[in-house]
Amino acid sequence: MEEKKALAHIAADGREQTILNHLIETARLCARFAACFHAEKQGELAGLAHDLGKYSSAFQRRLLGGPRVDHSTAGAAECAKLGHPYAAFAVIGHHTGLPDGGGMGDAPLQSTFFGRMNQAAAGKLEPYDDWRKDISFPQIPPLNFHDPLEAMFFTRMLYSCLVDADYLDTEAFMKATSAARDIGDPIDLLEQRLSRFTENWFPPKTDLNRERCALLGQCITQGERQKPGLFTLTIPTGGGKTVASLAFALRHAQKNGLRRIVYVIPYTSIIEQTAETFRTILGDRNVLEHHSGILYDLEDEAKSDNAALALAAENWDIPVVVTTAVQFFESLFANRSSQCRKLHNLAQSVIVFDEAQMLPVPYLRPCIFAVSQLVKRYGVSAVLCTATQPSLDDIFCEFLPDTPAVELCTPEKIRQTVFRRVTFRKAGKMSWGELAEQLNSHKQALCIVNSRKSAQEVYDLLEKDGSFHLSTLMYPDHRRRVLAEIRWRLTNDLPCRVISTSLIEAGVDVNFPAVFREEAGLDSILQAAGRCNREGKKPPEESIVTIFQGPNPIPPLFDIPIKAARQTLKQFDNPEDPEAIHFYFRELLHLKGKQAQDHKEILSIMQEDRMPFKTVAERFHLIDSDTRTVYIPQNEGNKLVEQLRAGAWNRALFRSLGQYAVSIYPQHFEALMAAGDLELLKDKAAILTNMKLYSSDTGLSLEADFGKDLFI
């Protein structure tokens, strides 16, 4: 009688895949992925070992409906026996996530790496010895990292190769008729499209356009000339840095054989604009916009035009990715397969950090360590792109001592006077009444304050005809409609006075003749100035940015940035002076202190503990938000809320509902619940039931908000 083959998968239509076939195909893919960072044999080993536990009789029964079986520890134990702990970690976590290492004395029942290794050593795994007649491991020397931080980073990258290879081979078998993944067009073709897009810029007809074209040309030249490494790109506001940075990235990738471009951007509002620009230039199929506001659901998208992008969102196998700093950095410190799967596709890429000054100070050192590792060992070119370059040299020198940053557009080649569009005025202390009086005297003006409460207080004092309010107490679709009205009024020279929180600084394209900014960090002040005389059509002397001190106490979040900004403004008359910007960021980091740059002690834990993957993932969250979501049943949101009440519960619905959501602090949420104004949902979000609390002018009422101010 013919011996029955050990199986890895059984498809819905009855087709069978043997373990041997699955291991060989996964190893082939994993080796190819890991070859991008010179770890091909490690990848092959991890791929061959990952499902050895499926050779057990218990797992074969599992395929026919039996109980769950741990099939990961077996392969990890075999890798560990060979002296390959990094492959062992990747294998043991390929379903449940990378565990903490723990200690060698951990009990076999503990979920740590050593606990599970001790379980294997004690002979407590289901027998799986039949693998030996099928599989022969590659003979490779052990890898040794003297730095535990580098060892963890490598392990996570190898893990990424394994889980992506495992998913892809399983997907190919289970969906035998599934369409091939669309990985977009080659880099050289994308560069040709960018050239066609910019050809109408030449010859430039104004001083500003001449300078923009010069900067574009300089970026292309540098892309051709530079080898992969660490770069800064400091282009003044209005200098066309989005297109210029893309030009550098494409030429640099084409010249150096790099595989893709990744844009890391702090805010979704900037992402949406940037991604739309790139889609216009490069074509929809080459650009993935990936952030919390766009959640692809493979089942929902399978028959739509988004099917290829939904697949690309899983592993970023597409020429251009536009994502958030939260998505990017949290993935680099994650331990779950769904987050880590894409990481290996960062190798041999150009990664552009747009608005680099927005890197979060409490996680600054771990973030810079991660960027440094990508540059040092994974063939990445990292570009810190901004008009206000942060002073990060000292931290980069610590983690990347042999690779100094190269500025792609040196200051002496930029005519700063061409980009000067505003004049700054320091107004000192002002009451809200005094501020409102000044705003009312302007036909068109923008005022940005530091909290949602302040925005509502000032708005109440403005003349209502032609006055508008913006804050995150208004749901996104509401803000979008108000912004459309604001832009229409600005274009048609109608009265338009806007009081806003800092959300309008985050890449929102508006153009006011006058701007008022409550004291904040220098980078925020300069971002606000970017909303004044944006097109440079008026003389700078007539375009005033007024910096004032409001009557409320300084919010804790702004305390140190404001102190650093005050010191800077004492030393320099012009906040836009590159020396002033450099001084500000050095002062900011000095006031924050080294400890505050890693306030969760991520690097210390990685240095002291044995591969603490799970602990680090639990600690590393760029947005430590304890806010709760309230859905507003207004306009289209009303229909969506009814679908939710009817039992619909899918990503597509929640993606749409996000346009009708407001985030509030727990005290505010509990007060609304106690008053009977909310309908609680099973995911701890809620629906607003008392619509009297939602104003068409200012959004959700703050009357019950006893908590902290939310600054945007």
- State yes or no: pLDDT of 188 exceeds 90: yes
- Alpha helices by DSSP H, listed for 521-573, are 522-529, 559-571
Are 310 and 296 in contact by the 8 Å Cβ rule? The answer is yes
DSSP three-state, residue 316:
coil
Q: Using the 8-state DSSP alphabet, how is residue 502 labeled?
A: G
Mean pLDDT of 256-278: 88
Kindly report the average pLDDT of the chain as a whole number.
90
H helices, E strands: number in the chain: 29, 21
652 pLDDT exceeds 90?
Answer: no
Output the six-digit token pair for 389.
Answer: 């370059």
Reference 693, options 675, 711, 708, 680; nearest CA is 675
* C-alpha–C-alpha distance, residues 181 and 215, integer Å: 37
pLDDT at 705: 42
Mean pLDDT of 207-229: 92
Q: Could you say which of 3.40.50.300, 3.30.70.980, 1.10.287.3510, 3.40.190.290 is the CATH number of the domain covering 187-415?
A: 3.40.50.300
Judge whether residue 512 has pLDDT over 50. yes
The angle formed by the CA atoms of residues 563, 568 and 573, to the nearest 5 degrees, is 140
Higher pLDDT pick, 180 / 129:
129
- H or E element, residue 424: strand 423-429
Q: Is the pLDDT of residue 292 over 70?
A: no
Farthest-apart Cα atoms in the chain, separation: 95
The pLDDT of residue 178 is 52
**Residue 109's pLDDT is what?**
77
Cβ–Cβ under 8 Å, residues 614 and 380: no
Q: How confident is the model at residue 300 (pLDDT cuts 50, 70, 90)?
A: very low
CATH topology of domain 421-575: Rossmann fold (3.40.50)
Q: Which amino acid is at 80?
A: A
- DSSP readout, 676-710? T-EEE-TTS-EEE--GGGEETTTEE--TT--SPPP
> pLDDT tens for residues 71-92?
999 999 999 999 999 999 999 9
How does residue 486 score in pLDDT terms, banded at 50, 70 and 90?
Answer: very high
For the chain, which residues make up each domain, given as ranges? 7-174, 187-415, 421-575, 628-700
82: amino acid identity, one letter: L
16 touches 91 (CB < 8 A) = no
Q: What are the angstrom distances between the C-alpha of 705 and each of 473, 514, 633, 675?
A: 11, 32, 20, 12
Q: Name the percent of the chain lying above pLDDT 70.
A: 93
Average pLDDT score over residue span 185-207? 92
> Among 206-215, 252-261, 337-346, 638-647, where is mean pLDDT lowest?
206-215
In angstroms, the CA 478 to CA 473 distance is 10
Give the DSSP letter string of 127-191.
Answer: P-GGGGGT------PPP--SSHHHHHHHHHHHHHHHHHHHHHHHHHHHTTTPPPP-----HHHHH
Domains 7-174 and 421-575 share a fold: no
pLDDT digit string, tens, across residues 540-570 = 999 999 999 999 988 887 899 999 999 999 9
Is 7-174 CATH 1.10.3470?
no
Q: What does the pLDDT look like over 607-644, one tens digit per residue?
A: 998 999 999 999 999 876 678 899 999 999 999 999 98
Which two three-digit tokens encode residue 410? 């040196």
Cα 690–chain centre separation:
35
- Given a cut of 80, whether residue 103 has pLDDT beyond it is yes
**Letter string b/e over residues 26-52, b meaning 16 or more CB atoms within 10 A of that residue's CB:** bbbbbbbbbbbbebbbbbbbbbbbbbb
- What stretch of H or E contains 234? strand 230-234
Indicate the SS3 state at residue 374: helix
**Is residue 394 exposed (0-12), middle (13-18) or buried (19+ Cβ within 10 Å)?**
exposed
CB atoms within 10 A of CB 589: 21
pLDDT in tens, 373-429: 999 999 999 999 988 888 898 899 999 999 999 999 887 767 767 778 899 999 999
Do 325 and 294 form a contact (C-beta atoms < 8 A)? no
Q: Are 472 and 501 in contact (CB under 8 A)?
A: yes
CB-based contacts of 480, cutoff 8 Å, min separation 6:
659
- Alpha-carbon distance 383 to 601, whole Å? 26
Q: Contacts from 404-407 at CB under 8 Å and sequence distance 24+?
A: 404/230, 405/230, 405/231, 405/232, 406/222, 406/226, 406/229, 406/230, 406/231, 406/232, 407/231, 407/232, 407/233, 407/234
State the pairing for strand pair 423-429/544-549. parallel
pLDDT of 301: 41
Other CB atoms closer than 10 Å to residue 452's CB: what's the count?
Answer: 27
CA distances for 559 relative to 450, 562, 583, 590, angstroms: 11, 5, 17, 14
Average pLDDT rounded to a whole number, residues 62-69: 91
CB of 320 within 8 A of CB of 260?
yes
Contacts of 528 (CB under 8 A, 6+ apart): 446, 448, 505, 515, 517, 520, 545
**Burial, 488: exposed, middle or buried (Cβ in 10 Å; 0-12, 13-18, 19+)?**
exposed
Torsion 525-526-531-532 (CA) sign? positive
Q: Name the pairing type of β-strands 694-695 and 699-700.
A: antiparallel
Assess contact for 364 and 598: CB atoms under 8 A: yes
The pLDDT confidence band at residue 665, using thresholds 50, 70 and 90, is confident
At 712 the pLDDT is 38
Query: Rounded to an integer, what distance in angstroms lies between the CA atom of residue 263 and that of residue 274?
Result: 9
Q: What distance, in Å, lies between the first and last C-alpha atoms of the chain?
A: 72
For residue 296, count other CB atoms closer than 10 A to its CB: 20
Q: Pick the residue with more confidence: 106 or 349? A: 349
- Residue showing tokens 């490494």: 229
Average pLDDT over residues 510-538: 92
